[in-house]
């Protein structure tokens, strides 16, 4: 999707991934936010449309707190934005939460088996897109899931948009409305896509983001 955006674009790696290697157990919401802010500083950007997807909803508030008014617009794509003082884990249904908690407590981070990933993440991906996605799946940093969020940085006048994939099999449309309310006063845009909409509909999503970025 990035190559379809045009203009200056920065795709970041959080700590523990890609260009920022780190033990996953050391990664926190604060270190993730600091890493993004450092990458923005290094790129020299002072006017930003900050775009996050899925679990990024937990670290975006802290990132916005560090970047301040350089963030002109925040875009939440099917994000998990828990209630203030609660964690992403707390937002899961009880039976799923119990399963997830057991996995985290085992101390052996893993990735979702392909057959489950196909249901939750690949319901609108073709075989080639799903294979591309599976090849890039990595374990998650546990504290990003279990650490309570601080939504105070979202109490500002910053413009914000929520992109809601209506075919999302892991974040139901109703739950996204709840999370969008936690994110603040969001413009709502619906997409006929699944959770990995940047893979299934890169051109459509890039066009929406470009229109947001082009606003005065």
pLDDT for res 81: 98
Instruction: List strand residue ranges (DSSP E) for 4-158, in order.
Output: 48-53, 71-77
Integer Cα distance of 5 and 211 in angstroms: 10
pLDDT for res 79: 98
pLDDT tens for each residue of 23-72: 999 999 999 999 999 999 999 999 999 999 999 999 999 999 999 999 99
pLDDT for res 52: 98
Q: Confidence band (pLDDT; 50, 70, 90) for 8?
A: very high
Name the residue among 170, 213, 178, 214 with its Cα closest to residue 75: 213
Domain ranges (residues) in the chain: 2-214
Q: Is the pLDDT of residue 94 over 70?
A: yes
Cα–Cα distances in angstroms (integers) from residue 65 to residues 33, 55, 128, 203, in the given order: 9, 17, 38, 30
pLDDT tens for each residue of 119-142: 999 999 999 999 999 999 888 899
Name the residue among 71, 78, 116 with its Cα closest to residue 198: 78
pLDDT for res 109: 54
Pick the CATH number of 2-214 from 3.40.50.1820, 3.60.15.10, 1.10.540.10, 2.40.160.10: 3.40.50.1820
What proportion of the chain, given as a percentage, has pLDDT over 70? 94
Q: Is the pLDDT of residue 107 over 60?
A: no
Q: Is the pLDDT of residue 7 over 60?
A: yes
- The chain-wide mean pLDDT, for the chain, equals 93
Q: Confidence band (pLDDT; 50, 70, 90) for 112?
A: confident
């Amino acid at each position: 999707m990035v190559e379809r955006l045009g203009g200056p674009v920065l795709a970041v790696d959080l700590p523990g991934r890609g260009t920022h290697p780190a033990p996953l157990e050391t990664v926190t919401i604060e270190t993730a936010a600091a890493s993004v802010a450092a990458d923005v500083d290094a790129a020299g950007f002072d006017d930003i449309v900050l775009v996050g997807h899925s679990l990024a909803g937990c670290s975006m508030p802290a990132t916005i707190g560090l970047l301040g008014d350089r963030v002109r617009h925040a875009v939440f794509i099917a994000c998990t934005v828990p209630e203030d003082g609660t964690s992403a884990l707390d937002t899961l249904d009880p039976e799923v939460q119990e399963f997830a908690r057991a996995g985290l407590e085992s101390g052996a981070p893993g990735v979702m088996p392909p057959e489950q990933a196909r249901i939750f993440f690949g319901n609108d991906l073709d075989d080639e897109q799903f294979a591309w996605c599976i090849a890039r799946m990595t374990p998650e940093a546990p504290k990003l899931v279990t650490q309570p969020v601080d939504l105070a940085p979202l109490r500002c006048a910053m413009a914000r948009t929520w992109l809601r994939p209506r075919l999302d099999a892991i974040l139901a449309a109703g739950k996204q409305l709840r999370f969008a309310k936690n994110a603040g006063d969001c413009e709502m845009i619906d997409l006929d896509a699944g959770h990995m909409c940047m893979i299934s509909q890169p051109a459509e999503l890039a066009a929406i983001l470009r229109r947001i970025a082009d606003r005065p």
